């Protein structure tokens, strides 16, 4: 696990396993941000607004160079049970298998789910394929009484919520 420090010229340094310091890369900084948000949610992990969800997912998915399809599995009070990166793809697509999402929801005893994926292009506008897989997942999860609350598409540091757009 890396440790960070800031030196007098405001350069962020990261310490490796051997104790040597080097300037932090963008990947180091994003990984540290992901750890901070995970720690914060362990204390107060209830999602009560699309804005809070979007902020969380932007930290988790922004800056990735490949597409990742993730799910936030929630209890009936919309508290986070688990965040899972379910499928990893290429620069512009990821294969999503509804059966695997349903299996994980059942394993975690989730009452609700928020779907998410990133667009490495930085453009968060949902595609027709995004709308199609969202509908397939809604139908599959409805069979086991898991509500799909939203699908967030992250593009860079902006995002689009299907729920806010009336698509769910």
pLDDT band of residue 156 (cuts 50, 70, 90) is confident
* Each residue's pLDDT tens digit, 18-60: 877 777 776 666 666 656 655 555 444 566 677 888 888 988 8
pTM score, two decimals? 0.74
Provide the edge-to-edge strand list for the sheet that holds 147-155: 80-88, 68-74, 112-118, 147-155, 158-161
Angstrom CA distances, 104 to 1, 30, 83, 156, 158, stand at: 28, 26, 11, 27, 28
Query: Which residue has better confidence, 34 or 157?
Result: 157
Map out the domains of the chain with their CATH numbers. 1-44 (no CATH), 46-161 (3.40.140.10)
**What pLDDT is attached to residue 43?**
41
Q: Is the pLDDT of residue 67 over 80?
A: yes
* Each residue's pLDDT tens digit, 78-108: 889 999 999 998 877 789 999 999 999 999 9
Q: Is the pLDDT of residue 150 over 60?
A: yes
DSSP structural state of residue 6: E
Identify the weakest region by mean pLDDT among 6-10, 23-27, 149-153: 6-10
Q: Which two tokens stand for residue 165?
A: 């757009």
**What pLDDT is attached to residue 136?**
97
Q: Is 133 exposed, middle or buried (0-12, 13-18, 19+ CB in 10 A)?
A: buried
Q: Is the pLDDT of residue 155 over 80?
A: yes
């Amino acid at each position: 696990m890396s440790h960070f420090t800031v030196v007098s010229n405001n350069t962020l340094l990261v310490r490796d396993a051997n104790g040597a310091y080097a300037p932090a890369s963008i990947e180091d900084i994003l990984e540290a941000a992901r750890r901070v948000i995970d720690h914060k949610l362990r204390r107060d992990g209830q999602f009560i607004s699309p804005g809070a969800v979007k902020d969380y997912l932007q930290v988790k998915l922004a800056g990735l160079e490949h597409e990742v399809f993730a799910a936030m599995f929630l209890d009936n009070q919309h508290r986070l049970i688990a965040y899972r990166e379910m499928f990893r793809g290429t620069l512009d697509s990821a294969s999503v298998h509804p059966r695997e999402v349903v299996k994980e929801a059942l394993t975690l005893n989730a009452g609700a789910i928020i779907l998410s994926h990133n667009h490495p292009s930085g453009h968060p506008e949902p595609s027709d394929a995004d709308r199609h897989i969202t509908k397939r997942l809604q139908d599959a999860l409805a069979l086991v009484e898991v509500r799909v609350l939203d699908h967030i598409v992250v593009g860079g540091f902006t995002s689009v919520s299907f729920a806010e757009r009336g698509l769910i």
